[in-house]
Structure 1
């Protein structure tokens, strides 16, 4: 299983690298061609759509992964349910578009919502049989889907932005992303769907609590966007949304490949409690060791990063990136609680966790906005994110009887190392100019990132040696890196030793 997981991580890591590079190009271009108000207008629409879509999310893919022996009837039922849901959502959005435009006092919302409703319908037609490969811990199809979607969105979005210089570029990019994902999903796993609802009850028995969790999570994570768009305005929402995405991107995309393999991977060892605890502890330690330096580097270098990537008109996003990048990284200390509960089928416990998180986060967000506007919301998210770590730790304790103290100490070397790295980066940054030629600023960021990484790795290695080189994240990272390097060297060696082919 470790070999399959390693290959899965490599495929998903490759996808994330390509997607991040394409996303960086898209952000660099669109942030300079469009305005914060353009992003804010589309963000209002996408926030409303995301909230409505998540409230009706049925988590059928997770149910198919969890099912012992899914048949074509299960896949056809999942496809039919997704189609009916997409039709309902598209109709609701189309009908509500004129009313929402009046509520937000912006007639541009009507056509934007109509076209984004079409994208929701297209997304509902995706091939559910892709999970066959996920169940086998094969993730090359994720690479194909993610990269094709991002490439299509980039080409169409940037092309439209260059021609029209308006928010329609963002809408067109979203539509292109959905169309590309739909086409590729049927190319990677051939499937001819047939309408049926024969297995609905069987699938719904697993996904019901997951659906309720999605509803709460969406309200939880989109409430701040909704409040800013409603009470402060599109420009503030555009700045906040872009800053939020930039803050989350590095951590999310870095650990995404590892997290994506955990649900099917942990599912295979649920019959052995001790092995499950060991697998969870090792996986969580590896995730934290990788995520912490990434998130805190972005937070420490937020000011030069925002100016370089987004431009001077986006300086308001600096505070958002500074704080949220760090709290996203901190939350990875036990982010694997969700795939663990899914693997064990304890979806009701996740719903209870999300209920508690919702009850804590909503008052903090509302109070933060009332006291300090966008800055108050950012600080409220820092507090709620820190409390979420403790809540997740309690969830893991209930699931696999792993003490909270042991969970938190599992990554102590990573926490100490990243604290030293952050202090060094903040100190070194004072010696570098924020403004200047683009190439100079790129070189500055590259040097600072490399400097911080070296500090982190040196401190981590020292602490590991002092601790007696215990088995854990460091050893797992060495094994993964060694396997990846070995595969590359073998391919290069085979290429070198192959005799030249005679000319035809």
Structure 2
């Protein structure tokens, strides 16, 4: 267990560094492009991305999960994985071309077929990467993910920004996507050299494991993309631009904050799944508590500062996106309760439970979004998603209970300190607003934004430490973080002493 924790700490450090950099680059990209392009430009490309996401989901093979879950993948498994990935990419590219004309008619957007054609090329690039990089992840080695993710994001940002400055066109978003996928393809073979040799010897084995993941992914994507299609069809590309950018900004803090952990937990769970000493349950509980403690302050905090942040960085033309950010960022943070059901089920091989969970979420969410659109337009959709998201937490808790036997209250109990601290943070920020500048001048927005961030951070950290001490410092995410910092400091100190010696 200590060996796994050590590798997890190193892996999390690599992914944390990658996420910090890619998160910053992604935020810069969104803010720069939002100033140079119009909401309608984002709406056009969002339609293309939505169509691509749906086609990707219904053809997903989950090759990476198969290779990580397999006890001893061979060269022939890699050949099969590469061949299936290439075949799938070619099939998705062909389907994009087939649906281009019907999509143009359905959304009354003559520019959409050209966008879909460009995304077909992007799909082909993404499907030809080296499968050997997955074996590094399987061994809890993650430096290659740092190199690939940072390189992709940096190149994509540069290309998109150049196109946006030069042409002021939605093609900047498409060009950035193409450049990012091409970079990922090249770097994958640099970090994990592989000579492709087409073969399908193990295709049955791979399909046997991934079939439920494919079905779950298809339902889940339809669930998460249905609202984009609905808004594009009934409200138009400009509201869809507000919604897609707001959705992305709302998800970014929570997604990027917990990605270093969630990325390493699937292989970590796979390593301890067969232990008979309750190792899997212990790792899950401690990991979930840590994820919640990290996700809640950043997600809820994003909801609190949404309006001054949008006014300051994206100008008032993007104000309709504020309600989307406020409604979704908080619920994304709360939804992390039980969110580790996904890597847990994949590690144990019980992926049918994920399909069942996603069907339940689909049945709940789609009618909610339709009613929300009918009653409240764009804001109604965001609020409906938030309500459905909170209810959907219990679907994840149910999966965890079936996999580990941990009851609902037992799952929630380790997260109570973080939930209480988040509530105190909200009260502190809202209570301080009367004393903060309320104007729309740049200096006033900067002061208001920085003050709210400082107050929120101090309130959450202070409340978390106070509650932990009042409870006599029980084992939990606080002790995990303290132990991690000690290991990092000791390791750095040892290296410095070695250099002096």
TM-score range, shorter chain: over 0.9
- List, as ranges, runs of 4+ consecutive aligned residues in structure 1 with deviation greater than 4 Å: 434-437, 488-495
Displacement of 1:494: 5.7
C-alpha separation in 1, matches of 2:121 and 2:38: 25
RMSD over aligned CA atoms reads 1.4
Displacement of 1:347: 0.5
Displacement of 1:21: 1.2
Q: Indicate if the aligned counterparts of 2:89 and 2:126 stay in contact, CA closer than 8 A.
A: yes
C-alpha separation in 2, matches of 1:493 and 1:232: 63
Displacement of 1:400: 0.5
- 2:124 aligns with 121
* Match 2:143 to one of 140, 145, 151: 140
* Match 2:299 to one of 295, 307, 311: 295
Tell me the TM-score normalised to structure 1 length.
Answer: 0.96
C-alpha separation in 2, matches of 1:321 and 1:489: 42
- 1:386 aligns with 390
- 1:426 aligns with 430
* Match 1:171 to one of 169, 174, 178: 174
The yes-or-no answer on 1:218 pairing with 2:221 is yes
The yes-or-no answer on 1:342 pairing with 2:346 is yes
Per-residue deviation, residues 402-439 of structure 1 (Å, max 9, x unmatched): 01111111200000001000111122234333545545
Displacement of 1:447: 3.1
Residue 195 of structure 1: SS of its match in structure 2? Answer: coil
C-alpha separation in 2, matches of 1:262 and 1:53: 24
Residue 127 of structure 1: SS of its match in structure 2? Answer: coil
- 2:255 aligns with 252
- 1:358 aligns with 362
The equivalences for 1:8-87 within 5 A come to: 8-87=11-90
C-alpha separation in 1, matches of 2:495 and 2:234: 57
- 1:402 aligns with 406
Q: Indicate if the aligned counterparts of 2:246 and 2:321 stay in contact, CA closer than 8 A.
A: yes
- 1:2 aligns with 5
Displacement of 1:443: 4.5
- 1:501 aligns with none
* Match 2:192 to one of 189, 194, 214: 189
* Match 2:289 to one of 285, 293, 305: 285
Residue 196 of structure 1: SS of its match in structure 2? Answer: coil
Displacement of 1:441: 3.1
C-alpha separation in 1, matches of 2:24 and 2:254: 14
Residue 410 of structure 1: SS of its match in structure 2? Answer: helix
C-alpha separation in 2, matches of 1:31 and 1:364: 29
- 1:104 aligns with 107
Distance 1:269 1:316, change over 3 A: same
Moved more, 441-450 or 212-221: 441-450
Per-residue deviation, residues 89-129 of structure 1 (Å, max 9, x unmatched): 11121232233222222211121111111111111111111
Distance 1:229 1:490, change over 3 A: farther
C-alpha separation in 2, matches of 1:484 and 1:428: 36
Q: Indicate if the aligned counterparts of 1:27 and 1:309 stay in contact, CA closer than 8 A.
A: no
Q: Indicate if the aligned counterparts of 2:80 and 2:200 stay in contact, CA closer than 8 A.
A: yes
Residue 346 of structure 1: SS of its match in structure 2? Answer: coil
Displacement of 1:160: 0.2
Distance 1:172 1:439, change over 3 A: farther
Displacement of 1:490: 4.8
Q: Which runs of 5+ in 2 are unaligned?
A: none
Q: Indicate if the aligned counterparts of 1:304 and 1:434 stay in contact, CA closer than 8 A.
A: no
C-alpha separation in 1, matches of 2:169 and 2:432: 39
C-alpha separation in 2, matches of 1:56 and 1:350: 17
Tell me the TM-score normalised to structure 2 length.
Answer: 0.96
C-alpha separation in 2, matches of 1:394 and 1:215: 21
Q: Which runs of 5+ in 1 are unaligned?
A: 499-504
Distance 1:330 1:166, change over 3 A: same
* Match 1:238 to one of 237, 241, 249: 241
C-alpha separation in 2, matches of 1:11 and 1:342: 23
